[in-house]
Amino acid sequence: MKKLICFCLIFLSSISLCLGMDWKVLHEKADIASFDDAKKAAMDVSATVEDIYVLGLVCLNLHKDKEAGEAFERILDVDPNSVPAKWGVAEVLRRQHEREKSRKLLEEIIMADIDFSPAYISMAYLEYLDMNFKRAISFAETVLEQGRQNVDLSNFTRAYVMIAGSKGMIAHYAGPFSKLFTGTQVLPTLKKAEILQPNSPMVLFGIGAFYMLAPTIAGGNLDKAIEYLQRAIKADPELADPYVRLGQAYKFKGDNAKYDFYLNKALEIDPKNELALDIKEQKCKFVCKR
């Protein structure tokens, strides 16, 4: 009986910790935590759900998606309604290109907690890949409207990157007047992200992609593009997208060997990467020509 009571107290305490999880603080903690430290804390006998959630986030940052999913599932075993853990699973599904499964779960999360910012960023990515660029902007703008004090730094920064990238695609497909109006908003938006996190691989990728894709008259610069994209790869060698755009930048410079090398490297990292496949198969939804 004593063992049963003890188990129940631990179980109820864990549920309480899940429900009271300060996700903003945990996201920012995970951004500076090492994998070894996060794993040690999560595997300790006194580990809390917060420790497990941080491990899941660190694994996401390191593209250890399988391990991340396992960490989030551990939390859901204790509290099946944990919004942060559900989001973690949805984010893993998104990265595994299970887009519809991810979308369904994200919609449930937003219905359950309209203030949970990471879900809006994940949805923005999905809408972008589906070429619903205005909806992607809407989700990202929701995060900015929540205010920096209510959102972790990385997701707040990603909101600017998503808005800039989506506006860049809108400008690409727009008529001359809209192209000029929308296109000129892209770099200033990316610069806002750069102020917040100058060494973020997503920020570096976004700026590099802008310099690579924009015409010279609009600020395009292949040398700057290569510089930023190389920095993005150095900051996160397992992020596939910068390899694709870097390969394109070299192709525009006439170096087809480097184009092939970097495009193949992206597909080696992520064989189902949407941007890499779009360029390789010459579908060019996400821009093949400068």
pLDDT number for residue 1 = 46
pLDDT of 136 above 60 = yes
Last residue of a domain, one of 128, 163, 198: 198
Domain for residue 286, yes or no? yes
227-285 pLDDT tens trace: 999 999 999 999 999 999 999 999 999 999 999 999 999 999 999 999 999 999 999 99
27-76 pLDDT tens trace: 999 999 999 999 999 999 999 999 999 999 999 999 999 999 999 999 99
186-199 pLDDT tens trace: 999 999 999 999 99
Do 107 and 126 belong together in one domain?
no
Domain for residue 194, yes or no? yes
Domain for residue 249, yes or no? yes
3-state SS track over the chain: CHHHHHHHHHHHHHHHHHHCCCHHHHHHHHCCCCHHHHHHHHHCCCCCHHHHHHHHHHHHHCCCHHHHHHHHHHHHHHCCCCHHHHHHHHHHHHHCCCHHHHHHHHHHHHHHCCCCHHHHHHHHHHHHHCCCHHHHHHHHHHHHHHCHHHCCHHHHHHHHHHHHHHHHHHHHHCCHHHHHHHHCCHHHHHHHHHHHCCCCHHHHHHHHHHHHHCCHHHCCCHHHHHHHHHHHHHHCCCCCHHHHHHHHHHHHCCCHHHHHHHHHHHHHHCCCCHHHHHHHCCCCCCCCCC
Do 231 and 269 belong together in one domain?
yes
Domain for residue 65, yes or no? yes
Both tokens of residue 66? 């399988």
Do 211 and 177 belong together in one domain?
no
Do 105 and 19 belong together in one domain?
yes
Do 188 and 246 belong together in one domain?
no
Domain for residue 264, yes or no? yes
Both tokens of residue 197? 């996190």
- The CATH number covering residue 284 comes to 1.25.40.10
Domain residues for 173? Answer: 115-198
- The CATH number covering residue 136 comes to 1.25.40
pLDDT number for residue 12 = 37
Do 124 and 106 belong together in one domain?
no
Last residue of a domain, one of 97, 113, 129: 113
Do 105 and 125 belong together in one domain?
no
Domain for residue 50, yes or no? yes
pLDDT of 139 above 60 = yes
pLDDT number for residue 20 = 57
* Mean of per-residue pLDDT scores for the chain: 92
Asked whether the beta carbons of 68 and 42 are under 8 A apart, the reply is no
Do 177 and 236 belong together in one domain?
no
pLDDT of 8 above 60 = no
pLDDT number for residue 5 = 37
- Number of structural domains found in the chain: 3
Last residue of a domain, one of 198, 230, 264: 198
83-112 pLDDT tens trace: 999 999 999 999 999 999 999 999 999 999
pTM over 0.85: yes
